[in-house]
Structure 1
Amino acid sequence: MLQKAKRIVIKVGSQLLSGENGLNSDFIENLAKQIANVSNAGKEVVLVSSGAVLAGIKAIKLNRKPFSLQEKQALSAIGQPYLMAEYRKAFKKHGREIAQVLLTAEDLRSKERFINAKNTLDALMKFKTIPIVNENDTVSVEEIKIGDNDNLSAHVAVLFEADILIMLTVTNGLYDKDPNKHKDAKLIPVVEDPKELESFCDFKGKTTFGTGGMWTKVEAAVKASQKGIPVIIAGGREENVIERILKGERIGTLFLPAKKLKAKSYRILYLMKPKGKVFIDDGAVKAITESGKSLLSKGVKKVEGDFRKGDAVEIFDLNGKLIGKGIVRCNPDQLCSFKKAFIHRDEMVIL
Structure 2
Amino acid sequence: MEKNTKMDNNEGPKRIVIKVGTNVMTNRDNRIVNTVLRKMVDQIAILYERGIMSVLVSSGSVIAGKEVLGSKVGIKDKIIRRQVFSAVGQPRMMRHYYNIFQDYGMRCAQVLATKRDFDPGKHRENMINCYEGLLSEGIIPIANEDDAVSLSMSTFTDNDELASLVAELTKADMLILLTDTDGLYNGHPDDENTERIAHVGTDEKVEHFIQESTKGEAEGRGGMKSKLNVAKEAARKNIPTYIANGNVDNMILDIVDGKEVGTKVSDD
TM superposition score normalised by structure 1? 0.68
* Structure 1 runs (4+) greater than 4 angstroms displaced: none
Q: Cα distance 1:76–1:183, how it changes in 2: closer, same or farther (>3 A)?
A: farther
* Shift, 1:194, TM fit: 4.2
Match of 1:5 in 2: 13
Match of 1:122 in 2: 132
* Inter-partner Cα distance in structure 2 for 1:195 and 1:42: 34
Structure 1 residue runs without a partner (length 5+): 259-351
* Shift, 1:135, TM fit: 0.5
Q: Cα distance 1:205–1:6, how it changes in 2: closer, same or farther (>3 A)?
A: farther
Q: Which has the higher contact order (CA 8 A, sep 6+)?
A: 2
Q: Does 1:58 align with 2:72?
A: no
Once the two structures are superposed, what CA deviation does each residue of 1:41-70 show, in whole Å capped at 9, x if it has no partner?
Answer: 101110000100011122222499x96211
Provide the identity percentage.
Answer: 35
Q: Does 1:189 align with 2:203?
A: no
* Inter-partner Cα distance in structure 2 for 1:84 and 1:120: 18
CA-based RMSD of the aligned residues comes to: 2.2
Q: Does 1:231 align with 2:244?
A: no
Give 1:16's aligned amino acid.
Answer: V
Q: Larger strand proportion, structure 1 or 2? A: 1
Give 1:186's aligned amino acid.
Answer: E
Structure of larger gyration radius:
1
Report the 3-state secondary structure (helix = DSSP H, G, I; strand = E; otherwise coil) of the residue aligned with 2:247. Answer: coil
* Shift, 1:179, TM fit: 2.0
* Inter-partner Cα distance in structure 1 for 2:207 and 2:77: 31
TM superposition score normalised by structure 2? 0.88
Match of 1:42 in 2: 51
Residue from 209, 214, 231 that aligns with 1:200:
209
Residue from 227, 230, 234 that aligns with 1:217:
227
Structure 2 residue runs without a partner (length 5+): 1-9
* Shift, 1:3, TM fit: 5.7
Q: Is the 8 A contact 2:30 2:63 kept in 1?
A: no
Residue from 19, 22, 33 that aligns with 2:31:
22
Q: Is the 8 A contact 1:96 1:129 kept in 2?
A: yes
* Shift, 1:111, TM fit: 3.0
Q: Does 1:155 align with 2:165?
A: yes
Report the 3-state secondary structure (helix = DSSP H, G, I; strand = E; otherwise coil) of the residue aligned with 1:201. Answer: helix
Match of 1:168 in 2: 178
